[in-house]
Amino acid sequence: MRERNPSQQDILMRERAKQNGVAFSLFTLFLSLSLLAAVPVAMWVTGTDIPTLLQNLFRICTSPSKLVTDYFGVGCLASTLLNAGLCGLACNLLILISRTQASSTTFAAYILVIAHGFYGLNLINMWPPFIGVIIYCFATKNPLRKNLHVAMFATALAPFISDFLFCYPLGIFVNIAGANVNIVGVAVSVLFGFGSGFLVPALLPGTTAMHRGYNMYKAGLALGIFGIFVYCFLYKTLGIAPAESVGGENALYRESFGHTYWVFMNVFFIILFAACELLGFLLNGCSFRNYRALLKCTGHGLDFADKFGMPVCFINFGVYGFCILAYLNLIFLLPVLFPVLPDGVGFTGPTVGVTFAALTFSADGQHPKNVAPIVLGYVILFALTCGICAVSGLDIPWTLSTQAYINGLAFATGLCPIAGKYGWKWGVVAGLVSAIICTSTAAMHGGFVLYNGGFNAGLTALILIPVLDFYRIEPIHQDDD
């Protein structure tokens, strides 16, 4: 049978994919280097010397890391930036070594790695799940370059590794370089990494089919389900209580900065987002051409890089990033402006991490217009809570700057295709449902799955999409070809 000669359009699409791959690889490298470049500045701001930096990095790598562990408190600002930057750089090297043609999916997986480098992922616990997927690729003769994103997604299970190595009570502990290491836990970590490497690639397609792409953080549902099984078997079934998250040991962070590096992180993100926006503007012929068209997209099953090119994606990363930053700074002020509200948080490690996480699909579906209804859903639930508490005489239990709700909303933005396809009203409903359940899902897997927000968004989609189907509510927006 004769092979069909590639058409001119096929050739152009391949060339664009190749160019996008180079751009994604360089952009992820830029983000890793930005984090590493911020380390000496953070050392100067906080008065951290090199021995303290390395000591705090070691503490981050050898502490329990389940949700929500604030690495700013466990270590320090500089050591957390170093940890996130090195985790990102490791992914950059693997992209290069495996000859992966980076795509929007690779970019999304990379962003989640550096995001969790601020609150749960480190240079030790990331490797067993990662290597497990690499072994799967060799065993099944699947090219690693086509599965590297799966390996990055699998790092969401990293808190299990930290617990097995340093906390799990069944085993023999040996002091190594000041850290109590469970020798049996090392073997369990290896087996867990091997098992997850074969199971995660199998679970991803099935769970994606369950919510039909209406949760952009599709790995969250698969990893959440897998995490529930592991947690129930190794902890609940055996009656073992998991170690609690480590509290803040960093006195400077607690006493001098009030558990928030507000100024530093605002300056960092403003420079980063402005640089991305400027880069996109220049590469786009000194214009914002096609960005308005991007804002009209539903975000469902559409790759912005393929449709509009990388310069427009850089612009979206910057503009959308500034929107997230503005929202965070606004909600940080709420307890100050309204003393009746409970105290929230500021720029903690988890807050910085989920700021990155909210940008995960900025090249693959997320933009300010289709995310806004999801945000409004969270705001409406907060207003309802305040109203009910005022009428019933109850204390208001949370605010929009409560850590769990910041984290929940960052990942709930992955429900933006619902708003894009079905209209803003259903986007608001999706945000409302996500906000209602976002504080309860972590208990299902014990806080051991870093993609808890993606798991929450997946459950929200599983609740909402069947309802829309049952009542035959049709999408009202479609993307142009």
Dump pLDDT digits (tens) for 392-419: 999 999 999 999 999 999 999 999 999 9
Q: How far apart are CA 402 and CA 253, in angstroms?
A: 18
What is the greatest pairwise CA distance in the chain? Answer: 77
pLDDT of residue 207: 84
Q: How far apart are CA 32 and CA 110, in angstroms?
A: 10
Q: How far apart are CA 113 and CA 356, in angstroms?
A: 10
pLDDT of residue 475: 87
The answer to whether residue 14 scores a pLDDT higher than 90 is no
Q: CB of 222 within 8 A of CB of 455?
A: no
pLDDT of residue 1: 45
Mean pLDDT of 161-165: 95
The answer to whether residue 436 scores a pLDDT higher than 90 is yes
pLDDT of residue 412: 96
pLDDT of residue 210: 85
Angle (CA) 381-384-388 rounded to 5° is 140
Mean pLDDT of 60-71: 93
For the stretch 94-133, pLDDT in tens is 999 999 888 899 999 999 999 999 999 999 999 999 999 9
Residue 115's closest CA among 78, 60, 153? 153
User: Is it true that the peptide bond before 190 is cis, omega within 30 degrees of 0?
Assistant: no
The answer to whether residue 4 scores a pLDDT higher than 80 is no
Mean pLDDT of 372-377: 98
Q: Give residue 258's pLDDT band: very low, low, confident or very high (50, 70, 90).
A: confident
Q: Give residue 170's pLDDT band: very low, low, confident or very high (50, 70, 90).
A: confident
Mean pLDDT of 305-311: 90
Fill in the amino acid letter for 233: F
Mean pLDDT of 144-165: 95
Radius of gyration of the chain (CA): 22
Torsion angles phi and psi, residue 30, rounded to 5? -60, -40
Q: How far apart are CA 371 and CA 193, in angstroms?
A: 35
Q: Give residue 447's pLDDT band: very low, low, confident or very high (50, 70, 90).
A: very high
Mean pLDDT of 237-251: 76
The answer to whether residue 232 scores a pLDDT higher than 90 is yes
pLDDT averaged over every residue in the chain: 92
For the stretch 314-368, pLDDT in tens is 999 999 999 999 999 999 999 988 988 999 999 999 999 999 999 999 999 999 9
Residue 251 neighbours by CB distance under 10 Å? 9
Q: Which has more pLDDT, 422 or 252?
A: 422
Rounded to 10°, the helix 77-97/104-116 angle is 150
Fill in the amino acid letter for 4: R
The three-state (H, E, C) secondary structure of the chain, written as one string: CCCCCCCHHHHHHHHHHHHHHHHHHHHHHHHHHHHHHHHHHHHHHHCCCHHHHHHHHHHHHCCCCCCCCCHHHHCCHHHHHHHHHHHHHHHHHHHHHCCCCCCHHHHHHHHHHHHHCCCCCCCCCCHHHHHHHHHHHHHHCCCHHHCHHHHHHHHHHHHHHHHHHHCCCCCCEEEECCEEEEHHHHHHHHHHHHHHHHHHHHHHHHHHHHHCCCCCCHHHHHHHHHHHHHHHHHHHCCCCCCCCCCCCCCHHHHHHCCCCCHHHHHHHHHHHHHHHHHHHHHHCCCCCCCHHHHHCCCCCCCCHHHHHCHHHHHHHHHHHHHHHHHHHHHHHHHHHHCCCCCCCCCCCHHHHHHHHHCCCCCCCCCCHHHHHHHHHHHHHHHHHHHHHHHHHCCCCCCCCCCHHHHHHHHHHHHHHHHHHHHCHHHHHHHHHHHHHHCCCCHHHHCCCCCCHHHHHHHHHHHHHHHHHHHCCCCCCCCCCC
Q: CB of 363 within 8 A of CB of 107?
A: yes
The answer to whether residue 162 scores a pLDDT higher than 90 is yes
pLDDT of residue 3: 52
Mean pLDDT of 205-228: 90
Q: How far apart are CA 345 and CA 366, in angstroms?
A: 25
Torsion region of 178: left, alpha or beta (phi above 0 gives left; psi -120 to 50 gives alpha) = left
